[in-house]
């Protein structure tokens, strides 16, 4: 339980830092938070970004990656109430292949 609390604190701090970086980096953007469907529409209309990946963020919600054909991206965290906040964004997104020495993800639970 202590590990989860520490993880939640660290993740929360990183999200705050990322949100501040977003405000500095995309001054022309709308406010970084809004209702999930409205945020998805706005990212699609403004930047041509579509959701391409999703993961759970513990019991507090999900994190989604939006990507455009031009390489712009937004990382969006959504809580259980449906409030979505852009926590990081930018351009030049690239997919990379795993190296031969690290071809599968590390399971921190020992599995």
86-98: per-residue pLDDT in tens?
999 999 988 888 7
Confidence class for position 7, pLDDT limits 50, 70, 90: very low
Position 87 scores a pLDDT of 92
Q: What global pTM score does this model have?
A: 0.63
Closest to 81 in 3D by CA, of 62, 100, 64: 62
Which residues face 19 on adjacent strands?
Answer: none
Distance CA 103, CA 32 (A): 35
Distance CA 111, CA 93 (A): 30
Distance CA 50, CA 80 (A): 21
If one counts every other C-beta atom within 10 angstroms of the C-beta of residue 82, the result is: 13
11-61: per-residue pLDDT in tens?
444 444 444 444 444 545 555 899 999 999 999 999 999 999 999 988 889
Position 83 scores a pLDDT of 95
Position 32 scores a pLDDT of 84
- Region 56-73: mean pLDDT is 94
């Amino acid at each position: 339980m202590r590990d989860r609390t520490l993880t939640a604190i660290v993740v929360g701090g990183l999200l705050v830092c990322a949100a501040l970086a977003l405000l500095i980096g995309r001054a022309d953007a709308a406010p970084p938070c809004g209702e999930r469907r409205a945020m998805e529409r706005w990212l699609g209309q403004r930047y041509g970004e579509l959701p391409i990946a999703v993961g759970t963020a513990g019991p507090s919600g999900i994190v989604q990656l939006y990507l455009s054909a031009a390489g712009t991206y937004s990382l969006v965290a959504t809580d259980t109430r449906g409030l979505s906040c852009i926590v990081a964004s930018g351009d030049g997104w690239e997919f990379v292949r795993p190296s031969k020495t690290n071809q599968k993800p590390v399971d921190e639970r020992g599995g």
